[in-house]
Amino acid sequence: MIRVGIPRALLYYQYLPMWKTFFEELGAEVIVSPTTTQTILAAGSSRVVADTCLPAKIFMGHVLSLTDKCDFIFIPAIRSLKSKSYNCSKFLGLPDMTRAVIPESPTILDIDIDINKGKRRLYQAIYKLGRRFTWNPFKVKRAAMAAWQAHLSYRELMSSQGLTPPQAIEKITGTPATELKAHPDSTGPVQATIGLIGHAYLLYDEHINYQLAHRLQQASNKVLTPEMLGRQELEVAVTRTVGTAYWTYEEDVVGAGSHYLQNGADGVIGIMAFGCGPDSLMMDMIHRQANRLKTTPFMCLTLEEHTSEAGVTTRLEAFLDMIYRRKRRREEVCV
C-alpha cells in the first residue's frame, strides 16, 4: 500500500480529515508526523534561514521526521480559497521551498489551489493529484466528494460541539489530540471566558505555545477559539471590521477577534508568530478595535523560537489577574 505522509503542522489543523479521506479513498495509507518536539523544531530550523517564521521552521522539522516513513509527502500550495483573497507567500511556495531545503524528502505530492483561476482549474488540479493513485477519473471524483463531505462534517462538529481541531480530529480519526501530559481538569466554577485567536498552527501546537489553552482551562477559564464559530458568524465579523477579507485565513484572526471582542468573552488573546507580515497587520487591526471599543481587554502574544515559557506564563498570569479584578469590580457595582 502506498504511504502518504502528512506533516502535523501549518494547515494540518484545518484540513486533516479532508486530506486523509481523499488519500484513503484512493487506497493509500496516511501517516501523520508526531506532535512537535524540540528535536523537530531544531531540525526544521537548521534547514532554513534564520528569519523564516516559526511555523514554517516547524513544518520543515515535521517533513524531516517523515522522510523515512512514507513514499510521498503531501504538501499543497494553497494560493487562494476565495475570490480576491490571498494566502501568505510561504503557503504559495511551500512545496518548492521544501524541495530546496530538504532534498532527501520523499516525492512531494503538490497541488496548486487557486480559486481565482476558476473551478475548472481546481478540478483539473485534483484529477492530476489523484492520477498518482488511479487512472479512473470517477474514482478520483468520488474521493474528492467524500473528502469535501468529511471537511464539512469536521467544521460542523467543531462549531456545534465547541471542539478545538485536535479534539475534533481525535473524535473523527482516533488520532490522540496531544501526546503531552494533559493538565488535570478543573472542577471549580468558570472564572472568565477567554477568546483565543490566531492561526490554528499557533493555537494548537502545544509545544510552541506552552500549552496555553490547557493552562487557561486549568485555571478554570472557558476557552473559545475561531473554529467554535460558524463560517457565517466569522464572515459577518470580517465584513463589519474590514469589508472584504484580503488574507485567506483572515476569519480566524480578524473575524474571531472582532466577534469575541463584542460577544461573550471577558478577554481576548491573540497569538502571532514573530516576523509574520499578515499577522502583524491583522492583530494590529484587532488591537485598534479593542482600544476603540474599550469593552474587552486584548493581549497579543508573539511567539518565536526563543520565546521562553516564563515569559508566556508571566504575561498570561498578569492578563488573567487584570480580567478577574475587572470582573469582580463589575459584579460589585451590579450588587
Tell me which residues touch ligand SF4 (CB under 6 A): 53, 55-56, 88, 90, 199, 273, 276, 278-279
Number of neighbouring beta carbons within 10 Å of residue 297: 17
Least distance CB 91 / ligand SF4 (angstroms): 6
Least distance CB 12 / ligand SF4 (angstroms): 13
The residue among 116, 71, 115, 79 whose CA lies nearest residue 96 is 79
Tell me whether residue 110 or residue 279 sits nearer to ligand SF4 (CB atom): 279
Least distance CB 232 / ligand SF4 (angstroms): 24
Tell me whether residue 205 or residue 266 sits nearer to ligand SF4 (CB atom): 205
Tell me whether residue 93 or residue 297 sits nearer to ligand SF4 (CB atom): 93
Least distance CB 2 / ligand SF4 (angstroms): 28
Contact 61, 74 (CB under 8 A): no
The residue among 323, 26, 62, 287 whose CA lies nearest residue 190 is 323
CA distance 320 to 280: 23
Least distance CB 278 / ligand SF4 (angstroms): 5
Tell me whether residue 48 or residue 320 sits nearer to ligand SF4 (CB atom): 48
The residue among 132, 139, 94, 138 whose CA lies nearest residue 113 is 94
Contact 246, 85 (CB under 8 A): yes
Tell me whether residue 167 or residue 302 sits nearer to ligand SF4 (CB atom): 302
Neighbouring C-alpha atoms within 13 Å toward the C-beta of 332:
6
